[in-house]
Amino acid sequence: MILVIAESRGSKLNRASWETIAAAQQLGSPIVVGLPGAGGDSLQAAAAELAEAAVQEVVTIESPSLESYTADGYTAGLESAIRELAPGIIVLPHTYQTRDFAPKLAARLDRAILTDVIGIKNVDGALTFVRPIFQGKLTAEVVPEGLGPHLITFQLGAFRADAVARGPSPVAVRTLAVSVDAAAIRQKPEAPFQEGKQAVDLSQAERIVAVGRGIKEQSNLSIARALAEALGAEIAASRPICDAGWLPMERQVGSSGQTVAPKVYIALGISGAIQHLVGMKGANTIVAINKDPDAPIFEVADYGIVGDLFEIVPALSKALSE
Amino acid sequence: MSTLILWLLVLAFGGAFAAQVATRVRLIVAAPNTITLDHLGARIRRFVVNVIGQRQTIVERPVAGLAHAFVFWGFIAFAGYTTAEFLRGLGLVDLTHARWFLGYRIIITPFAVAVIVGILYLLVRRTVARPVALGEKVSVESVVIALLIAALMITFLLAWRLPPESVAGHVNWWVHSIVILVFLALIPASKHFHLVLSPLTVFLKSEELGHVPNLDFEREQVGLETVKDLGSKSVLDALTCVECGRCQINCPAWGAGKALNPKAIILQTQAALLAGHRDAKLGEVYSEQVLWQCTTCGACESQCPVGIEHLPVLIGARRGLVSNGDAPEYLGAMYNNLERRSNIWGLNYDQRQKFVDSASLETFDPTRHDVLVWLGCAGAFEAEYQKSLRSLFEILRSRNVRFGVLSKERCTGDTAKRTGNEYMFQELAAANIEDLKAAGPKKIVTSCPHCVKTIGADYRRFGYEVEIVHSSVFVEQLTRDITASGERVVTYHDPCYLGRYSGTVDEPRALLNRFGAQVAEPERTRKNPYCCGGGGGLLFADQEEEPGSRISDVRFKQLENTGASTVVTACPFCSIMLRGAQSSAANGERADRVPAQDVQFVDLMTFVNGQLNRT
Amino acid sequence: MKIGVCIKQVPTRDWRPQVNDAGSWIREQDASYETNEPDAYALEESLRLKEKHGGEVVACSAGPGRVAQVLREALARGADRAIHVDDEALGAADAFVVADALAAAMKDERFDLILTGLQSDDQGFAQTGVILAERLGLPHATIIMEIDIGDGGLRVKRELEGGWFQWVSMPLPAVLTIQSGINQLRYATLKGIMAAKKKVIRREAMPPQATPRQKIVKLYLPEKVKQTVMIEGTPDEAARALVKSLRDDARVI
């Protein structure tokens, strides 16, 4: 039996849970989806959603100590559940939360754990897992060793949530009560929060839209802002824009400004002078839009569009909202 | 009776002189020895030309310099006269009635007149014209000394008119003699101590601009931390400063309104030494912030008429701070880049390989190649500068020069050395030298003047000597057979590390003229350019937080003022800084010249190659 | 405060990977090495905590002889001493083996706090710090952005997905895995490098009971190499193509 550990906050399921079910379905059957929590309506609502998948059943793993996530609590609760359910393999999404407890759970069970897996292969009858290594420069095929059940965490986005096969009708949802000693939980978490917008810390931004001289006039910043809004990104700029006072100094990216490492960096009308480059070279994916095909920014961009940003950027904002 | 009085006076004032000199000599002797005597021939030549001939003093400020020269030559001329008169007055020997003495007096009379003219001019200049370089307040000390000098010459001239045995004659003689003694006693504690010290400091000045010896880690040297760490040459320098302000007004940081003032650095050093503050931290004597505003352009040192070397003090103090972890944050990040990636940008080495492949460059092989081309870190990573290198490669190929590049280059360590991270510099240098020795080039060509200085001069101290030339010099030799027509007006920005450090000012101009361009010189040019503001680590500085404007903005305006719409550069950092200044410059129509944004920047190699392709 | 920092030595980011003939690991001869970047931030954080609260910082690493380099770099930046679990097999080992090796060498030190980077730039498991905590019986928290030490306990800020954060309190001693970029890394000063020569690196042998839990059966270069993809077409076409690439290929939106 394949045990999927799903993740939710309140009644909201983490989308990655669906990706994990898709991966599990690739592994085989039967599949049981476990959802830890403290019980109650929100947990039941999330569980009901999971029941739409083509799995054997959904089990809510319940204890009052599992109300908020803690590493100690989840490890203890899931350890109990696993001993009870006796799966052949345990799969989880490689979320921040999973990274916090899954290795501990594996060490507690003394079982192998493979993390950040992007694919599954069957090599000579043995289940082999594909994962990136050396920052994606190489790909490794790995087999877990020792007694099962083994734990596998899947990289976010490696499997597609919309590839999950749905069942003809919702499956059964049952409760598995586990005993977790509240006194043994050493972490005391506070409520999660989002960082306030007063201080601009571009170095933590996951998405950035940056403008350069190509924006020509201050009034044109609005199209960049619209794109940033559509993308859920922070706005930033190269030095001349901040020098001219069109954006505050905290938004300057470059050797005399901020160094950023977002997942995506969209450079609008930025030539790519080296002082700017060194501030954003850590970006995962760089998109450059510039009317000059020889602009140095295209040397470092992953995606480039040569053209008029005043036409392309509004089109991009529109395409994103679709 | 009068002899006795004179003896007493001589002993008293002479004693005061000697005591003050002794204090200063003790400071010099107590300091770690940094005096070198290499290139003896060049030093002697320099002494003759600049001390005896007063060349440097005159060249930068012709009228004031000539006035000073009059005073100086007068002093030399009068030495014999003064000595003879005192010998007679002290009852030792009377040479003043010898026949030759009269002739001597006749010869030095025009000198006396010249001294009076000179000193009066200088006095008026100082008190009425009040040039900025001489400071905000009029120096009372200078006025007193000037009047004393005038009095000496006037009493000498009066002696022609007054009978020696008359009362007036005697009074005149005593006034003259007492003025000399007072002058003697005043010298050590005033800037006129340069009378004694400056011939020494000019002679002892290093032939190399910005001579900053390597730190010896075996002996646990970490740089200059406190006043007592200052070397003996630096102590001599501090005591000899004439406060002329040439270093100050030529300093690009000062010119941009920043707090750094090289003259203040030297005078603060002097004050701290004389106050006996041996353990005072240099970071507090100068105020740390100021130390990071220096681009190491070398204008201060090369302008100083009394041989003061500012850079060993500035860079030495930087070393003291850096060794203790007190480098500014932006430099700390750059040092980490050098440690992890061996380049100042922190970029990955694949990018250099991409450029090498796309330009079809061969790995250097001494059996097949005439020269090694050193790309440098701008060459490896900076897309704009790579265009200039491609032009260079085309020129070389078109002239059948066989060249190759190293398969691996690290930063030469220039920025580490100039900002005071001696450890990083020596690590990079040692590794590069190993690779260079293994490759075995006889000649290296590079387009980066900083690499020229570092590999050509600084690597020498590790025992590695190679001929390295800037591409302008190499290409100039290559293209002597070509003439092109054209009347294009351009302006040329001399890189500090090329014009001032290497003295290479003619070759770039020869190339420009040869290829049909007329050079409109900016106000600071050739061997005294105004820095672009990129050296000494300032390329990375958070200049927004400092007072004044950016050095690059000031220089960009100077270049614009020539009216030329094309600026030719010959250094990757000048290009980065000046383009940056352009992008920040206000746009808009101007009657007499093109808008700032329309000024074209072109590297010298790109210009030459462009013209070659046309012919 | 006695702080332990676990540092891994990894191939430099520049290094172009070469697979060995057996296809089981990289060609080590070709690689040059450096400190794992998240661990460098963990070290910097530990040095700042020492400056604030006093105590000592002990740099720990489990790896072949060459990892002494990163320990010396840590000492040059201000760590007081180091522990090196020295064994050739540790170069390619999985997180269980490394954590067991570190736990055996570190447990008698009775650290008040142990910091490690959240994951390594080579194998990238993101497991070692957490397994270490379990082996030592200590509470832990991962992907930490800020540390606040109080009386006998600490309060740390965890990074969550999507711009969310959470403060968590725990008693000391504890283990934390540190997020990159949490602070500004100091550079190695000349004085630090000179002082490091006199500092002690204690060498330990690998514990006998460490068993591997995984095996690499194949190692190869991925098909895709980083190239700039130029997107053509009208503004609308290009915009749509870009969004599709960002969504499906780069998976950043």
Q: What is the pLDDT of residue A197?
A: 55
Q: What is the pLDDT of residue A196?
A: 60
Mean pLDDT of chain C: 93
In a shared domain, residues B9 and B138: yes
Residues of C in contact with A100 (CB under 8 A): 130, 141-143, 158
Please check whether residues C134 and C252 belong to one and the same domain.
no
SS3 A318: helix
Does B354 contact chain C (CB < 8 Å)?
A: no
Domain range holding C170?
A: 2-204
Same domain for C233 and C199: no
Q: Is A189 part of a structural domain of the chain?
A: no
265-294 in B: which are within 8 Å (CB) of C? none
Of B288, B316, B285, B310, nearest to B297 by C-alpha is: B310
Torsion (CA) B320, B334, B418, B133 in degrees, nearest 10: -90
Which of B271, B303, B326 is the C-terminal boundary of a domain? Answer: B326
Verify that C252 and C178 share a domain, yes or no.
no
Helix runs in B420-550, H state only? 422-439, 449-453, 471-478, 506-514
Task: Give yes or no: residues B318 and B383 share one domain.
Answer: no
Of the pLDDT bands very low, low, confident and very high (cuts 50, 70, 90), residue C161 is confident
Give Cβ neighbours of residue C20 (< 8 Å, ≥ 6 apart): C26, C27
Strand order in the sheet with B566-569: B517-519, B488-492, B566-569, B600-603
Optimal mutation site among A7, A69, A70, A96, interface C, most CBs of chain C within 10 A: A96
* Residues C109 and C230 reside in one and the same domain: no
Same structural domain for residues A232 and A127? no
CB-CB: which of B222, B329, B350 is closest to C190?
Answer: B222
State mean pLDDT over C194-200: 94
pLDDT for the residue B43? 94
- Asked, for residue B206, whether it belongs to a domain, the answer is no
Q: The CATH number of the domain where A121 resides is what? A: 3.40.50.620
Query: In the prediction, which pLDDT does B542 show?
Result: 67
Provide the number of structural domains found in chain A.
Answer: 2
Same domain flag for A167 and A223: no
Sequence-distant (6+) residues with CB within 8 A of B477 are: none
A206 in the same domain as A180: no
Judgement on whether residues C15 and C92 belong to the same structural domain of the protein: yes
Question: Is B186:B144 a contact under the CB 8 Å cutoff?
Answer: yes
Smallest Cα distance from C199 to chain A, Å? 32
Query: How many beta carbons lie within 10 A of that of residue B608, not counting itself?
Result: 30
B487 shares a domain with B472: no
pLDDT score for B99: 87
CB contacts of A184 in chain C (<8 Å) are none
Chain B CB contacts of A255 below 8 Å: 330, 539-540
- Kindly state whether residues A86 and A166 are assigned to the same domain: yes
Same domain for C200 and C244? no
**How does residue C182 score in pLDDT terms, banded at 50, 70 and 90?**
confident
Q: Is residue B170 part of a domain?
A: yes
Which residues 216-235 of A are in CB contact (within 8 Å) with C?
231
In whole angstroms, give the CA distance from residue B483 to residue B235. 53
Residue B246 included in any domain: yes
Residue at A171 is within a domain: yes
Cα of B376 to nearest chain C Cα, Å: 17
Q: Which of B326, B358, B389 is the last residue of a domain?
A: B326
Residue B289 forms part of a structural domain:
yes
Please indicate, yes or no, whether residues A255 and A286 belong to a single structural domain of this protein. yes
Residues B116 and B32 in one domain: yes
Closest to B538 (Cα-Cα) out of B340, B258, B325, B343: B258
- Where does a domain end: B449, B476, B503? B476
Same domain for A160 and A283, yes or no, is no
Phi, psi of A128 (to 5 degrees): -120, 140
Statement to judge: residues B34 and B173 lie in one domain = yes
Is A195 inside a domain boundary?
Answer: no
| A197 inside 8 A of chain C by CB | no
Which residue out of A278, A286, A294, A298 would a mutagenesis test of the B interface target, given it has the greatest number of B Cβ atoms within 10 Å? A278
Give the closest of C168, C230, C239 to A312, CB-based.
C239
Q: Among the three residues A155, A184, A213, which one is the final residue of a domain in this structure? A: A184
Q: Is residue A141 part of a domain?
A: yes
Chain A residues close to B532, C-beta within 8 Å: none
Q: Do B29 and B153 fall within a single domain?
A: yes
Please give the DSSP secondary-structure letter assigned to residue A253: B
**Looking at the 3D structure of chain B, how many domains does it have?**
4
My answer on whether C249 and C127 are in the same domain is no
In a domain, C132, yes or no: yes
Judge if A120 and A10 occupy the same domain.
yes
The answer to whether residues A153 and A221 belong to one domain is no
Same domain for A253 and A296 = yes
Does C237 lie in the same domain as C188? no
All residues of chain B having their beta carbon less than 8 Å from the beta carbon of residue C41 are none
B307 and B222 in a common domain: yes
Is A239 within 8 Å of chain B by CB? yes
The identity of residue B70, as a single letter, is F
Residues in chain B: 615
Q: For the domain that residue B582 is a member of, what is the CATH number?
A: 3.40.50
Q: Is residue A190 part of a domain?
A: no
Q: Provide the number of structural domains found in chain C.
A: 2
Over range A129-153, report the average pLDDT.
93
* Closest chain A residue to C212, measured at CA: A145
Instruction: State residue C225's pLDDT score.
Output: 61
Distance from CA of B412 to the nearest CA of C (A): 19
Return the residue of C nearest to B425 by Cα. Answer: C190
Q: Mutation test of the interface with chain A: which of B411, B544, B575, B597, choosing the one with the most A Cβ atoms within 10 A?
A: B544
Model pTM score: 0.89
Neighboring chain B residues of A237 at a CB cutoff of 8 Å: none
- Domain shared by A160 and A11, yes or no: yes
d(CA B323, CA A68): 49
| Residue B414 covered by a domain | yes
Instruction: Extract the tokens encoding C102.
Output: 């570190």
Q: Do B49 and B178 fall into the same domain?
A: yes
Contacts of C13 in chain A (CB under 8 A): 135
Are C187 and B421 a contacting pair at CB < 8 A? yes
**Using CB atoms, which residue from A244, A272, A275 is nearest to B383?**
A272
State whether A239 and B583 contact (CB < 8 Å): yes
**Would an 8 Å CB–CB cutoff place C198 in contact with chain B?**
no
Among A154, A184, A214, the domain boundary falls at A184
Q: Which residues of B touch A275 (CB under 8 A)?
A: 539, 576, 580
Does B220 contact chain C (CB < 8 Å)? yes
Question: How many Å separate Cα B439 from the centre of its chain?
Answer: 34
Do A226 and A265 lie in one domain? The reply is yes
In a domain, B210, yes or no: no
Chains that touch B (3 or more CB pairs under 8 A): A, C
Containing structural domain, residue B47 = 2-199
Q: Are residues C33 and C95 in the same domain?
A: yes
Q: Are residues C237 and C113 in the same domain?
A: no
Query: Hey, are the CB atoms on B332 and C187 less than 8 Å from each other?
Result: yes
Which residue do the tokens 């190759």 mark?
B404
Contact assignment for B339 to C188 by CB distance below 8 Å: yes
Cβ contact B30:B229 at 8 Å: no
User: DSSP H helical segments within chain A, as ranges?
Assistant: 16-27, 41-50, 71-85, 96-109, 221-231, 239-243, 274-280, 297-300, 309-321
Q: At CB < 8 A and 24+ separation, what contacts does B508-511 make?
A: B508/B472, B508/B476, B508/B568, B508/B570, B508/B604, B510/B476, B511/B472, B511/B475, B511/B476, B511/B479, B511/B604, B511/B608
C238 and C145 in one domain?
no
CATH of the domain at B224: 1.10.1060
- Looking at the structure, tell me whether residues B492 and B387 fall in a common domain: no
Closest CA to A299 of B385, B393, C238, B362: B385
DSSP class of residue B461 equals: G
Angle at B490 (CA atoms; ends B489, B492), nearest 5 degrees: 150
CB spacing of C121 vs A308 below 8 angstroms: no
User: CB contact, 8 Å: B335 with chain C?
Assistant: yes
Residues 6+ apart with CB under 8 A from B64: B121, B122, B125
What is the CATH number for A229?
3.40.50.1220
Q: Is residue C147 part of a domain?
A: yes
- Residue B598 DSSP class: G
CB contact under 8 A, B381 and A274: yes
CB B600 within 8 A of CB B567: yes
pLDDT of residue B543: 60
ipTM for the predicted complex comes to: 0.92
User: Given an 8 Å threshold on Cβ–Cβ distance, is B339 in contact with C192?
Assistant: no
Q: Is C216 inside a domain boundary? A: no
Judged by CB atoms closer than 8 Å, whether chains meet at B325 and C12 is answered as no
Let me know if residue A193 belongs to a domain: no
- Considering the domain boundaries, does residue A206 fall inside one? yes
Q: Which residues of B touch A304 (CB under 8 A)?
A: none
Q: Is residue B39 part of a domain?
A: yes
- CATH code, domain with B157: 1.20.950
The reply to whether B586 falls in a domain is: yes
pLDDT of residue C226 exceeding 70, the answer is: no
B491-545 pLDDT, tens digit per residue, is 999 999 999 999 999 999 999 999 989 999 999 999 999 999 999 999 888 665 6
Tokens of B410: 């690290």
Contact B329 C184 (CB under 8 A): yes
Q: Within this chain, do residues A164 and A239 fall inside the same structural domain, yes or no?
A: no
Please name the residues between 239 and 278 in chain A that touch chain C, using a CB distance below 8 Å. Answer: 261, 263-264
The answer to whether residues A2 and A91 touch, using CB atoms and an 8 Å cutoff, is yes
Please tell me whether residues B155 and B50 are part of one structural domain: yes
Query: What distance in Å separates the CA atoms of residue A193 and residue B234, rounded to the nearest whole number?
Result: 58
Q: How far is CA B267 from the centre of its chain?
A: 17
**A/B interface, count of CB pairs below 8 Å:** 49
- Neighbouring chains to A with at least 3 Cβ pairs closer than 8 Å: B, C
Q: Does C185 touch chain B (CB under 8 A)?
A: yes
C51 in any annotated domain = yes
Judging contacts by C-beta atoms under 8 Å, the chain A residues touching residue C154 are none
Give contacts of A 122-181 with C, CB under 8 A: 123, 128, 132-146, 157
B575 with B465, same domain?
A: no
Name the closest residue on chain A to residue B344, using Cα atoms.
A278
Regions of chain B with pLDDT less than 50: none
CATH for C82: 3.40.50.620
Tell me, yes or no, whether B483 and B367 share the same domain: no
Quote the domain boundaries for residue A305.
202-321
Q: Looking at beta carbons, which residues of chain A come within 8 Å of C131?
A: 103-104, 106-107
pLDDT in tens, A255-303: 778 888 888 999 999 988 888 988 888 888 999 999 999 888 998 899 9
